[in-house]
Chain A
Amino acid sequence: MRNLLIFITKYSAFFLFLIFEAIALYIFINYNDFQRASFINTSNEVTGNLYRNISNVNDYLKLKEINDSLARQNALLRNQLMSSLYVDTAGRKKINDSVYKQQYTYIEARVINNSVNKRMNYITINKGSLNGIAKGMGVIADGGVVGIVMQASPHFSVIRSLLHKDTRISAMLANSKEGGSFMWAEDMDPHKGLLYDVANSAQPHLGDTVVTDQHSLFPIGVQLGRVSNLKPKTGGFFLNMEVKLSVDFSKLEYVYVINNKFAQEQQGLEALQKTNE
């Protein structure tokens, strides 16, 4: 027993190393699982609040750009207003429209922490479960897809960015409706993505728009980017193409979290089908 104690104290560095390394790797491996998330991230109160304060200062410095983008969006929305359209029919009847039912609602949020220079990038926003955000919701910005909500605390949420090595989004070419999968390119360029596993019969052209398709958790037709290179270095056996992302992740300021009102119903039905089989 005494010898054992002497042995342990003599090589204490090594044993301590083993213990702490094991703890660290345990935390690391567990967190990477999408299902299980821990509290050591920017959705906890301390780091979340620190980032919010820093972001307040940053926002002030970026006011001009934000104003420009908001003005642009205002103009776009104004164009769609009924009052900006010229009415050329004489009489109009009011119809209570029961054909359409709202499926998607949007929650607006501000980005308070963001990164683009790592292999796994996350975004923190200033709205959380109190505002109705839950895990698994899609997030878009002015120009296109941003990511998926990974975890929501009462006041903050962490989003797994499109710029993450594990993010995959079901996408298609807008013109030909050919489907494929979308992921971030491996060379860590924050402006490029990769559309892969497109059927060989598809005939993509440079500049084609890539949008989300009906299998993704986003509404159909949210833009991802435009095809910029038909012969990328990496990819599988099917057609692959490089996509220039439509969202500039390094300048992300405001995002919209998508709440799909029918998501629960769909998942419930699919789960029921699974148990029936």
Chain B
Amino acid sequence: MSRVLFANFIRFVVLVFIQAFLLKNVTVYDLAVPYPYILFVMLLPFETPNIVLFPLAFLMGLSIDAFYDTPGLHAAATVLLAMVRVLFISITVQKDSFDNEPEPTLGSMGFRWFFTYSAILTLVHHFFLFNLEVFRLSEMEYTLSRFLMSSVFTILLMLITGLLFFRKKRA
């Protein structure tokens, strides 16, 4: 239990730092901006109760907001992400089928599941984020292309991170 807490705390700090000091300066062709900090919410253990999950998502979003000067923007998107996570997991994962795999990582769930999971969650998060940031229909074309390119970038980064920390399922 304390190991899980510790791991998630480290993950929180590391992701905020990487996002605020490294990836904030990264843009590809003025279009793709990666936001892999949402990995924190996505990798929380399956058994995380909702009453903990949502405040954590909110806190993560707010921390990013503090560095990005956009109070509430990332928080709103990340809370929505948490909601989609709850729905997705309740549909695709049977609670009884696993007993020693508490986290939805690439190693424990397999590539297909993890790819679908990260893709759907990232698309929802980025779509909401970019549209809320611009909040104008007249710029739809740019917003949509930014949303798509950024999503591809983010998913790529998250899969690479997943492979980097790959741990095979114990038989």
Contact = CB atoms under 8 A, between A and B. Distances in A.
Sorted from nearest, which 5 A-B pairs have the closest CB atoms? Answer: A28-B72, A27-B72, A24-B76, A117-B27, A24-B75
Contacts of A47: 66-67
Nearest to A11: B50
Contacts of A50: 20
Contact of A24 (B33, B51, B53, B61): B61
A27 B142 contact: no
Nearest to A150: B69
Contacts of A117: 27, 30, 33
A28 B70 contact: yes
Interface stretch (B79-87, B105-113, B118-126, B159-167): B79-87
Interface residues of A, number: 42
B68 interface: yes
Given A13-B86, A120-B70, A27 B30 contact: no
A20 interface: yes
B132 interface: yes
Interface residues of B, number: 41
A186 B58 contact: no
28 contacts: A13-B54, A13-B86, A16-B50, A20-B58, A21-B76, A21-B80, A21-B83, A23-B75, A24-B58, A27-B72, A28-B72, A28-B73, A31-B71, A38-B71, A40-B62, A41-B71, A42-B69, A44-B66, A54-B21, A118-B33, A118-B68, A119-B133, A119-B134, A120-B69, A158-B69, A186-B142, A187-B142, A188-B30
A86 interface: no
A20 B75 CA distance: 8
B139 interface: yes
Contacts of B79: 17, 20-21, 24
Given A188-B142, A189-B30, A118 B72 contact: no
Interface of B: 20-21, 24-25, 27, 30, 33, 50-51, 53-55, 57-58, 61-62, 65-73, 75-76, 79-80, 82-83, 86-87, 132-134, 136, 138-139, 142, 146
Interface of A: 12-14, 16-17, 19-21, 23-31, 38, 40-42, 44, 46-47, 50-51, 54, 115-120, 122, 124, 158, 165, 186-190
B76 A16 contact: no
Contacts of B70: 28, 31, 118, 120
Contacts of B58: 20, 23-24
Contacts of B80: 17, 21
Nearest to A15: B50
A24 B125 CA distance: 14
A31 B68 contact: no
A124 B71 CA distance: 15
A28 to B, nearest CB: 3
Contacts of A13: 50, 54, 83, 86-87
B133 A120 contact: yes
Contacts of A188: 30, 142, 146
Contacts of A23: 58, 75
Nearest to A57: B21
A41 B69 contact: yes
A40 B50 contact: no
A214 B166 CA distance: 62
Contacts of B133: 118-120
B129 to A, nearest CB: 10
Contacts of A24: 58, 61-62, 72-73, 75-76, 79
